[in-house]
Amino acid sequence: MDVFKEYGRFYDIFYSDKDYEEECDFLEEIFKRYAPFKPRTILDGGCGTGGHVIPLAKRGYDMTGVDVSGEMICLARENAVKMGVKPKFNVMDLRELELDKKFDVCISMFSVIGYITDNKDLSKTLQNIRNCLKKGALFIFDFWYGPSVLSLRPTARIKNSEKKGIRVIRFSEPTMDTFHHICKVNYYWIVTKENLVVYKGKEKHAVRFYFPEEIKHYLEESGFQLLRFCPFLDLNTQPSEKTWNVTAIAQAV
């Protein structure tokens, strides 16, 4: 299900504080440390509006982005044109991913894997990604770290962002399903322009949080070797119970 359909047009405004260039620096540092060959072709699974695809394309990589949301892909194409790059984009569910190309790297950022809450779907997704990768290729993704989620517990929050006179306000109310390792979040959105409300909506997201051994198990089952876990944007330390967002680095075998 496309949980981003309604507010896709406001997505880039809401996340305008996200530093994609820094995140791409982090990815390139992973390439340098762990890739057995210099990556050229990169698949972005769950690419959204192209936040990682476009800066990586500008850095010279041959980029392909896929996302289940047609609206997100339309925005990604528009953003790419504005930035003068020509990556490839496809509307595609990772559970049905099938491409006639083998890649040097697959990235899946911003907790995309967390939206795959069913075990069979997770296995299928990882197998599909493996089928799109060359032997030795890297698979890099981030996820909500189970020990931290249970330690810190999610709380109700309000976040607002503004760009070019448009303000996006989001209220989030989480509930925990610890038995199934899922955090269910009710989101309420208000968008204003020149102090007038132009959009109001609500959505329900279910995000799975993962534990190290289960991630390792599903990766190995799907033809990957886990290389390491690290806190998001920090290759030099280990995750702790205070590390909500963790990066997994794996290699296709």
CATH class belonging to 8-144+211-252: alpha beta
Strand, helix or coil for residue 108? strand
d(CA 90, CA 115): 19
**Interatomic CA distance for residues 80 and 74, integer angstroms:** 10
Residue-level pLDDT at 1: 44
Question: Which range (6-10, 11-15, 158-162, 214-218) has the least confidence?
Answer: 6-10
The pLDDT-based confidence of 163 (bands split at 50, 70, 90) is confident
pLDDT per residue over 103-136, tens digit each?
999 999 999 999 999 999 999 999 999 999 999 9
DSSP secondary structure code for residue 66 in this structure: E
At residue 164, the pLDDT reads 84
Q: Average pLDDT of 94-106?
A: 97
- The yes-or-no verdict on residue 4 having pLDDT over 60 is no
Helix (H, G, I), strand (E, B) or coil at 47: coil
Of 3.10.180.10, 3.40.50.300, 3.40.50.150, 2.20.130.10, the CATH number of 149-207 is 2.20.130.10
> Is the pLDDT reported for residue 8 higher than 90?
no
Give the pLDDT band (50/70/90) at residue 9.
Answer: confident
Check whether 2 has a pLDDT greater than 70: no
Structure confidence at residue 7 (pLDDT): 60
List the domain boundaries for the chain.
Answer: 8-144+211-252, 149-207
Chain-wide mean pLDDT for the chain? 95
Closest among 5, 3, 7 to 200, alpha carbons compared: 7
C-alpha of 38 from chain center? 23
The HSE-up count of residue 248 (CA atoms within 13 Å, CB side) is 29
